[in-house]
Structures are given as C-alpha cells and as structure tokens.
Amino acid sequence: MNLNAECIFDGGAILGEGPVWDERTGSLDWIDIERGKICRFNPVTGVNQEWVIAEQVGFAVNTDEGNVLAGTRRGLIRFSRTTGKTTPWIDPEAELPDNRFNDGKCDLQGRLWAGTMCLDESKIEGSLYRIDPDGTVDRQLNPVQISNGLAWSADSQRMYYIDSPTRRIDVFDFDPEHGRITNRRTLAVIEESGFPDGMTIDAEGHLWVALWEGWGVVCLNSKTGEQLAKIDVPVSRVTSCCFGGSNLTDLYITTASRDLTEADRQKQPNAGGLFVARPGIEGTASIRFRKG
C-alpha cells in the first residue's frame, strides 16, 4: 500500500530533523540541525516560530518542567523558549570536539537515549548513551557511525535502533526498570531504497522509518520486519517522523535539502519542508524527559 504526504510548511531547512508532538500546545517541535534552529510549528495557524542557539543541534525533547533538553555539538543543554536562554548541562564527549549529538528520544520511563556521530560521517566514532533524570550518563553502545532512529514497544520489552550506514533496523531486549539493552539482532535491512534514518512506532506496534535518499517513509512489522506500506514524499532526503494531532493520527515528516544540486532543487522544490500523511492508524505520544 502506497500513500502520499503533503507539504504543510515549506521551511527550506538544510537538515530538518527531530519532530516531536507537544500535546500541551498542540504544536510540532522540530529542528534544523545545520542552522542551529529549534522550531515550533502550529498546524492550525501555519505559523512557525524559530529560536537560534548558534550551534548544531541534533535533537530537542521537551521536559516535564516545560523547557527543552537538546543535544548539540557541545553536549547536552537546557533551553527555555520563554527567555531564549541556554544552559550547559552535560558533555559526555568533551574530549571529542569533532563529534556532535544526533538523534535522541525518551523511553517510556522518561530517560533520554541519545547518540553521537563524528562530523566526518565516514568515521565510526560515535556512541549511544542513556541519560537519567539525575544526570547519570551510561554509554550503552560503542562504536556507532551515525546514531539515529529509536523506538520502544508498548510493553517496554523491546527497543528498536538504527545506525544509518548499516542499513539495518535492529532490536534489543529492553529492561525497563534499569534501562539496559541486551541481545541485539537485526529486524530488517533496507537494501536499495535509501538509508534508514529517524523512526517512530504506532499504537499497533508497527514501525515507521524515514528513508534518507529513499523518497518516503516505510511501515514495518516490528516482529517480522516485513514492509507493510510506504508513504511517498516528493523529497529524496527524508529524515524523521512522529505522530501528532488531537488523536495522534497525523504522521509528521521532516526532510532535508543538504547537498542537493541546483537540478535536484528544481525537481524537489519543497526539500527541507515539513510534510504530513494520514495513514489511518493511531500513533504513540512523544515522551517528555522526566524531572529529576
């Protein structure tokens, strides 16, 4: 089954990423990594607010306290949309100045899982960390090349993970009490239709995986890896997705325009825009970082 996505905001991001639905405000939070922008899009009014933090930002998640926890080139920071101020928090890779945080997401217990990557994307020098509310940092995987998509099963017994250049969607056994992962195995391999990037999971347990250079988002059975559907996006570099809207039935999709040629841009005028699709299924809520 193939579905189509429509552009709802032609933002022209260089590297749009990290969509997060904020149910408190009815808005979609997202980022432009290369421009250091944290954004908030209102799908009702079409208004997009932007805050520039002056450095690459790989992800931004909301917290119980109402502020933002973001991963940057200089570690984890706290950011207030009210004041526009940033406060450094933790930098687990201060000795690696050429690394930056990439994708990050909270598990159902409110702990942050966040991965890093080298600015030279050919190097395998990143890691995946678990960050607890009290600030404890525990490295869970190393080495990682381009740490990306994360998702958890509804019963918190499985964690899904993507290291993009491997082309794999992997699954771990997950210990929700202690936040530990074991028994890594491959669920699916994206052979020729792009590289798996950001990911979310719906209420029925299906995975929705954005495809960099794949022109869309694929839906996979989270137990067998079988492809069930694809959402076509008129942009080659599709980066991530999340469910939102009042009933969590809207799938919001971020894209990128990075490194496109002029000919590519002519063919992809909405590259770097925000898209939405309605696949007829209920999604899962974005989880906030739990207050420590």
- CA-CA distances (angstroms) from residue 119 to 46, 56, 197, 256? 33, 11, 16, 17
- CA-CA distances (angstroms) from residue 192 to 1, 20, 161? 18, 28, 19
- Domain assignment of residue 282, yes or no: no
**Residues of the domain holding 175:** 2-277
- Give the closest residue to 164 by CA, choosing from 143, 142, 145: 145
Q: What is the 3-state secondary structure (H, E, C) of 244-283?
A: ECCCCCEEEEEEECCCCCHHHHHHCCCCCCEEEECCCCCE
Read off the pLDDT of each residue in 79-90 and give the average, rounded to a whole number: 95
Residue 105 has pLDDT above 70, yes or no: yes
Indicate the pLDDT class of residue 292, thresholds 50, 70 and 90: low
The larger pLDDT score, comparing residue 165 to residue 191, is at 165
- Give residue-wise pLDDT tens across range 55-83: 999 999 999 999 999 999 999 999 999 99
- Domain assignment of residue 290, yes or no: no
Contacts of 257 (CB under 8 A, 6+ apart): 12, 13, 14, 237, 265, 268, 271, 272
C-beta separation of 143 from 125 below 8 A:
yes
Which DSSP string corresponds to 175-207?
A: ETTTTEEEEEEEEEE--SS-EEEEEEEBTTS-E
- Give residue-wise pLDDT tens across range 133-177: 999 999 999 999 999 999 999 999 999 999 999 999 999 999 999
| Predicted pLDDT at 121 | 96
- Domain assignment of residue 288, yes or no: no
**For the domain that residue 160 is a member of, what is the CATH number?**
2.120.10.30
- Domain assignment of residue 284, yes or no: no
Read off the pLDDT of each residue in 230-234 and give the average, rounded to a whole number: 97
Cα first-last separation, the chain: 44
- CA-CA distances (angstroms) from residue 131 to 134, 139, 199, 261? 8, 9, 20, 39
* Beta-carbon-side half-sphere exposure of residue 83 (alpha carbons within 13 Å): 9
| Predicted pLDDT at 126 | 98
Catalytic residue among 197, 202, 232, 250: 197
The total number of structural domains in the chain stands at 1
| Predicted pLDDT at 20 | 98
Residue 117 corresponds to which tokens in the numbers above?
């990557």
| Predicted pLDDT at 192 | 81
- Give residue-wise pLDDT tens across range 111-141: 999 999 999 999 999 999 999 999 999 999 9
- Domain assignment of residue 147, yes or no: yes
- Domain assignment of residue 291, yes or no: no
- Domain assignment of residue 285, yes or no: no
- Domain assignment of residue 263, yes or no: yes
Torsion sign, CA atoms 154, 148, 241, 74:
positive
Residue 258 has pLDDT above 80, yes or no: yes
Task: Let me know if 197 is a catalytic residue.
Answer: yes
How much of the chain, in percent, has pLDDT values that exceed 70?
A: 100
